[in-house]
Structure 1
Amino acid sequence: MVDPSADTIMTFRDRMTDMRKGPFAVALSLTTAVASFAVMGPAGADPDPVAGPTLVRTDQGVVQGEARPGHRLFQGIPFAAAPVGDLRWRPPQPARSWSGVRDATFPRSACAQLPGVGSPLTSFEEDCLYLNVATPDRPGRRKLPVMVWVHGGSNTAGSGSTYNTSKLAVNGDVVVVSINYRLGALGWLGHPGLETRGLQAGNYGLLDQQAALRWVRHNIGAFGGDARNVTLFGESAGANGICANIASPTAAGLFHKAIAQSYGCAAPTNTPATAEAAARAFTEAVGCDDENTVAECLRAVPVKTLLDVAKTKGLRAGPVAGGDGVLPLQPAEAIERGRFNRVPVVHGSTLDEMRLYVSLIHQRPITTARYEGLVRSTYGDKADRVLARYPVSRYPEPRIALSTLATDHGNVISTCEHVKAFGLFRRAGVPVYAYQFADRTAPPLVDVPGFEEGAEHATELSYLFPGLLGTLNAEQQRLSDTMVGYWTSFAHRGRPSARNAPRWPAHRSTGDVLSLGIGEDGVHTTDTSEQSNCAFWDEIGPVPPVALF
């Protein structure tokens, strides 16, 4: 659990204001290495039919992983060159080859970041474009589906190696790849002085994700994976990346299915104008406001300074849509116009998304008057209607009323934003399977004393990645098994199913959302649009540019 500090709370308050607008060497002998070539063959060839080989040859060279119970794990494999020096704020370049055998038994550096809620990592490293591969330890020559995980963290924090992908790999019989990508200012700074060869500045993190997918296409066969059956999946900021890749022409053919968890694909992301305005404020703060030397100046600034200024300025990190061929349209517009990568989609959110943010900003109980004042300052002459629909008397305390209101409507992770996205995909003619994670007993991302976190943002992750937020009890383990079954069967066949679990229907109406909870009838279809008053919110309209919190 995390003990949120005052600085952390301020960071989240600033981020929440923006959410409504759009995001948020073990040496081996040469003899062994040479022998391994005879066993493995070239990259992309069928894996050794003997279970558990830990030597694999990639395009760049041989890697040595390790055998773990039920699976093999390879960590810290470079998929692109270190984006340092002149490569800072440039598209990712090919990774260098190496001779001999590279130790892949431990993860490499996380991308540069400061610690935040749910992520205690601190890193000042730019050499961070690494990935990790988990593959079942079993005989056979059949190529397995591949799942590529894009971590969350507000596009400013996190690391692929944080996530234990073994259960997905072993129980689901899939190869799982978890990746890093550049974060914060180093991944998303949209200053026009950084534009390269006509590319919109600010999408370096997105291009990193695509570079990792190209590595998968060229190398995953050597690990037993099928490069023709790749599912891209991610949560929160990672799902922001999934939505952007669905809309990105430069990601065409790099993945064949997508799972977006807790970020609505109908939500807007940065535009060139908003990215440039934020970048100019940032460059001025670091002392690089001379238009003629901005790129050279920025590349000389220490990483720690960049991180500190980004935190102070509240730099909004995320994809930039509309400036070039990488992301020419907002995801929603791309889907509406049919100009997107047409792949089957699993898409959904948690039942109590915004309890995380409300509990961080209001760690102590608030009064009814305080709740009503926040609603009135936000909704103006529509506040009476909102308060009538969300009266404090209906909820255990005012903070729960506030978080329920905010979960239903008004930001990129809200239920109604997801409902819009379900409809977009359905009308575009691609299979979409909608869900809502609903286990209110799940281990929380942040445990705030005296507050019921419920199924807050990120709580579903422990059910896919064991031990991430805490230990699951027997009932929760059964839900975890079901979810892993749904997720990995979707990777296999494009249709989610699970043993001894209800059928998951494709989304054809608002009632076709699968609620994922515990208990005998914990998994069932539901109508999240009705439950979250989405028709009412359509009448109310967008949230005004006033902080609800």
Structure 2
Amino acid sequence: MKKSILSLASVSTAALMLLCLSAPVKADDPCVAVGGGSLCGSSDKGVQSYKGIQYAQASLWNSSVITSSYQAKTPATDYGAPCPQGQSAETLSDCLFLNIWTPAEPGAPADKTVMVFIHGGAFVFGSGGQQGQNNPYDGSNFAADQNVVLVTLNYRLGAAGFLYDPNIDALQKNGGNFGIEDQINALKWVRANIGAFGGDASKVTIFGESAGAMSVGLHMFSSEASSGLFRGAIMESNPIGVIYRDFSEASADSVTFLQCLNAVIDNPKATQCGTLATAPKLPETAAGGDTLLAATKLYEKVLKSSGRVRRDGLPEALPFAPVIEPNSYLAAQPAEAVEGKAPVPYMYTFNKSEGVLFAELAAQKWTGKFALPLIYSMLIGDMFATSDEILDNEKYRKHPESLERTIDSMGSLITDFAFACGNMKANQTANSDSVWGFVVLQQPVVPSTPPVDACAPANKAGNVCHEAELPFVFNNLPNGAGPNDIKLAKNMNKVWATFAMDPAGGPGTEWARWKAGHTGLNAFAEPAISPVPDIYGTSQCDFWKNQEPRVNP
């Protein structure tokens, strides 16, 4: 029997009670009073961790509702289920969890700085924590070494998190930005409850990587609903130079997706999307999260036959992403707003070879010596009105005779336009004293996701690819890391926390402020590199000033 698509995702009181009874609480587990009950975590080497805390409940394509009460001695020792992604989606209604690491004992004063991390994953995969010993976002070192409270969180992804259509009432309140609204509700939960964990709710800094950094940029520059929930921000590897979908483009996407969803509901083994003879509407029935993922796979097949798939490494290529429209839930394009004054002090960082990973993945997708050069040329035409000027630039020229040289050109374009120059547009009209910019020059210590040789540790090209900074930021290095990597990880972990403790004062007097005139870029490398390379010049940022992207390619 098919279930209602709305009632399917509701969380009953009985289900919550089962969650609370899922693991016994030990006598020596630390417990804190929250929401009329208590949450009981675990303690190790002076750090108390509380995992899998359900901060909100949600039904499909409805706003999440913040959890306000808990049973006594609710277990909080294991990460909660991630939001649906990629494979099984049994957790469609039960994935809005957060995790906390704190140096504070239960009952300690609520005076510690709070850092809230938003994970990346192209808005379609990832979570704030994963089972096992290799969670890259484990906050133990932040809590133990920097004396801060570290929070990570899940949010809805893919179609469940980012579907908009003007003809569907349920999608109007937040412009289809359910995933961003979930993040806001997590921040509201933190504001209401972090004191129980020793955190000061007035001292919150948000930070994120990739799609998480994009989210941070949206909270700063686009979301009125986020105002007052944090006092500082850090963006790691935000492709802030590109333009998000608006209502028009998102609406076209939703029609296509709903065609695919209806086809899967009618036939779970459908291989083609259907048609919508009338205005799109949400189907009345569905089989659950697995149906949603099956529809997503069909939808991605449709995208492969369109120009969208050519834009690898850019937000327009994402099957689902936030939606921006003036005078709506997310009202401003960060690519434009970043030039002016931000509402809070912030840091931005990017890695010197951000685009290499995306170019290498595109090369795997478009096999054949001549396929990628052709696709690359079409991508430039899709993205820029000045495509001829870009392709005439030696650094970004297509090379029909060489797949390798085309990969180099594509990687350079994505790095320079989307990441380096996009971020270095920051603060150019405001000239505020509250922005700090960094480039990461240290080679990676872990493989990229997914692994590619050009981004591997000790790669021959010296590439520092997308997400390579994460083990250093969290000071979660693999076994066998060298002394220079260990020293840099301790330093970066401290820089992030020092900024969070006093965003207006910044990460320390040894770090220059990013100013109008493109001065003050700092570099992370060990041993230190001095002077810092002219990244603004080598990224040809003056050239990119005149290459504005198409708003709706």
Q: TM exceeds 0.5? A: yes
Q: Which residue of 2 aligns with 1:490?
A: 499
Contact 2:445 2:477 in 1 (8 A): no
Distance in 1 (alpha carbons) for counterparts of 2:477 and 2:56:
27
Q: Deviations over 1:310-362 (max 9, x none)?
A: 23323632221126542123234555676xx6100111211000111122232
Does residue 320 of structure 1 match 2:288? no
Q: Sequence identity of aligned pairs in percent?
A: 27
Contact 1:242 1:258 in 2 (8 A): yes
Q: Which has the higher contact order (CA 8 A, sep 6+)?
A: 1
Q: Deviations over 1:53-86 (max 9, x none)?
A: 71111125200000012311000111112x2xxx
Give 5+ residue unaligned stretches, structure 1. Answer: 1-24, 33-51, 116-121
For 1:458, the aligned partner's letter is E
TM-score normalised by length of structure 1:
0.78
Distance in 2 (alpha carbons) for counterparts of 1:265 and 1:449:
26
Using a 3 Å threshold, how does the CA distance of structure 1 residues 536 and 302 change in structure 2: closer, same or farther? same
Matches within 5 A, 1:81-480: 81=57, 83=58, 87-95=59-67, 97-114=69-86, 123-126=89-92, 127-137=94-104, 141=109, 143-162=111-130, 163-196=137-170, 198-246=172-220, 247-287=222-262, 289=276, 294-297=281-284, 300-314=286-300, 316-322=319-325, 325-334=328-337, 342-363=343-364, 378=380, 381-382=388-389, 385-387=392-394, 398=405, 401-411=408-418, 414-420=419-425, 422-423=426-427, 427=430, 429=432, 431-445=434-448, 446-449=450-453, 452=459, 454-467=463-476, 472-480=481-489
For 2:37, the aligned partner's letter is G
Contact 1:152 1:158 in 2 (8 A): yes
Distance in 2 (alpha carbons) for counterparts of 1:417 and 1:28:
49
Does residue 54 of structure 1 match 2:55? no
Q: Which residue of 2 aligns with 1:78?
A: 54
* Aligned positions, number: 479
Q: Which residue of 2 aligns with 1:510?
A: 518
Q: Secondary structure at 2:251's aligned position in 1? A: helix
The Cα of 1:535 is off from its aligned counterpart by 1.3
Q: Secondary structure at 1:226's aligned position in 2? A: strand
Distance in 2 (alpha carbons) for counterparts of 1:278 and 1:365:
23
For 1:230, the aligned partner's letter is V
Instruction: Say what the alpha-carbon RMSD is for the aligned residues.
Output: 3.4
For 1:311, the aligned partner's letter is K
The Cα of 1:441 is off from its aligned counterpart by 4.3
Q: Secondary structure at 1:283's aligned position in 2? A: helix
Contact 1:213 1:254 in 2 (8 A): yes
The Cα of 1:265 is off from its aligned counterpart by 3.9
The Cα of 1:204 is off from its aligned counterpart by 0.4
The Cα of 1:471 is off from its aligned counterpart by 5.7
The Cα of 1:125 is off from its aligned counterpart by 1.1
For 2:225, the aligned partner's letter is T
Q: Which residue of 2 aligns with 1:4?
A: none
**Range with bigger deviation, 465-474 or 131-140:** 465-474
For 2:349, the aligned partner's letter is G
TM-score normalised by length of structure 2:
0.77
Using a 3 Å threshold, how does the CA distance of structure 1 residues 97 and 398 change in structure 2: closer, same or farther? same
The Cα of 1:464 is off from its aligned counterpart by 1.9
The Cα of 1:488 is off from its aligned counterpart by 0.3
The Cα of 1:538 is off from its aligned counterpart by 3.0
Distance in 2 (alpha carbons) for counterparts of 1:511 and 1:215:
38
Using a 3 Å threshold, how does the CA distance of structure 1 residues 92 and 544 change in structure 2: closer, same or farther? closer
